Amino acid sequence: MGHLVIRGEKDEQAVLCSKDKTYDMKIADTSNMLLFIPGCKTPEQLNADQASCNIIHSQIAGFSNNYWELRRCRPKLKKLRKLLMEDPYEGPDSQNDQTLTISKYTTEDLLSLIQASEEEIMHQLQVIDACKIGGYWRILEFDYEMKLLNHVTQLIDSESWSLSKVPLRTCLEELGSLEPTEMIEHILLSYGRKYIDDGEVYFEMHEDKICRAIAQMLLQNAVKFNLSEFQEVWQQSVPEGMTTRLDQLKGLALLDRTSRPETISLLKVEDLPEDNQERFNSLFSIREKWTEEDITPYIQDLCAEKQTVGVLLTKYARSSMQNGVKVYNSRRPIS
């Protein structure tokens, strides 16, 4: 297993981490007293030494009636985003970055603050598109990120490049006067897949991710949108050649098919609580009854290894039929 680390702050339940996994620690009692004997020999070791069948007098150094039981658990990664969002990066000209009071985190800091293994933390930093600036992990402030993305998509448009073949070098040459080159490269890495062709670096842009980001930009300007109007504006707002689809918005936006007209509103899965029961409480306070299709994107990430959404719903919700459709509501009254 290599070296093990116990992680957690004073107000957190301790977890044990290996290089790539996280375990819950629970104290378990045993009716067999465990004795600690210095230089203790196991029966196997004694059998090897057949000649000496003497009684050995052993000193007992201590005893225990319990031990730590480990259970593989989901890494507690919500806090990672929360810490980095305390001070998102607003670009090189931002005044905020000049002050010394802001909270910034190195890899070492994150390893001591986040209850997850190093591999799980490094993977999550990629998932949330964090980037290292001056040795510290940062998340780009959303408006700044959209500004960078916009520079790139406009350039693609004016150069008539294929979305699957965007050349890094030209992007850096053309946009380098507007923004730091490492930011241009970061936005390409966040919204595209890097590959090399004939010695040149290119990016294949992720259509779904770009459409999703633009939807978020539109949705955060209002509490609710008329769905058909939103879909029209959204399609007009994405780069030429991209197609918007509602399934690009899983875990980002919630549709209300029952209201007239139908509406759509922003609901980001990353803003919901990490604890299972709290997550369900929160979802049932947003909407009393959910179809499995609607709730799945908001609980998918709670599934442990090999666990299904159905298992979670059985445990935390009760089902009933409404107009021939199976819906789920809370098992407990929502305060």
3-state secondary structure at position 20: coil
Which has more pLDDT, 178 or 41?
A: 178
The HSE-up count of residue 81 (CA atoms within 13 Å, CB side) is: 16
Q: Distance between CA 246 and CA 243 in Å, rounded?
A: 10
| Host H or E run for residue 237 | helix 227-237
Model confidence at 177, pLDDT cuts 50, 70, 90, reads very high
Say whether pLDDT at 115 is over 70. Answer: yes
Say whether pLDDT at 217 is over 60. Answer: yes
Task: Tell me the residue ranges of DSSP E strands in 230-316.
Answer: 253-256, 263-266, 290-291
Which has more pLDDT, 40 or 272?
A: 272
Average pLDDT over residues 15-30: 92
* Owner of token pair 């620690």: 25
Model confidence at 93, pLDDT cuts 50, 70, 90, reads confident
Q: In the chain, what percentage of residues exceed pLDDT 90?
A: 68
Give residue 231's pLDDT: 96
Separation in Å, CA 225 to CA 90, 220, 234, 263, 320 = 28, 10, 11, 5, 29
Say whether pLDDT at 253 is over 90. Answer: yes
Model confidence at 146, pLDDT cuts 50, 70, 90, reads very high
Q: In the chain, what percentage of residues exceed pLDDT 70?
A: 95
Burial of residue 133 (number of CB atoms within 10 Å: 0-12, 13-18, 19+): middle
Sign of the alpha-carbon dihedral angle for 185, 187, 188, 193: positive
Model confidence at 107, pLDDT cuts 50, 70, 90, reads very high
Give residue 74's pLDDT: 87
Give residue 164's pLDDT: 94
Q: Distance between CA 265 and CA 243 in Å, rounded?
A: 20
Model confidence at 56, pLDDT cuts 50, 70, 90, reads confident
Average pLDDT over residues 181-207: 95
What is the overall mean pLDDT for the chain? Answer: 90
| Host H or E run for residue 68 | strand 62-72
CA angle 53, 57, 62 (to 5 degrees): 135
Separation in Å, CA 202 to CA 168, 172, 271 = 6, 12, 33
Average pLDDT over residues 317-326: 90
CA angle 134, 139, 143 (to 5 degrees): 120
Say whether pLDDT at 239 is over 80. Answer: yes
Whether 84 and 63 have beta carbons less than 8 Å apart is answered as no
Separation in Å, CA 113 to CA 123, 205, 206, 233, 302 = 16, 34, 32, 42, 21
Say whether pLDDT at 128 is over 90. Answer: yes
Q: Distance between CA 65 and CA 71 in Å, rounded?
A: 20
Say whether pLDDT at 335 is over 70. Answer: no
| Host H or E run for residue 26 | strand 22-36
Least confident of 54-68, 133-147, 240-254: 54-68
Average pLDDT over residues 33-57: 76
Model confidence at 140, pLDDT cuts 50, 70, 90, reads very high
Sign of the alpha-carbon dihedral angle for 26, 32, 33, 38: negative
Give residue 101's pLDDT: 57
Average pLDDT over residues 152-166: 94
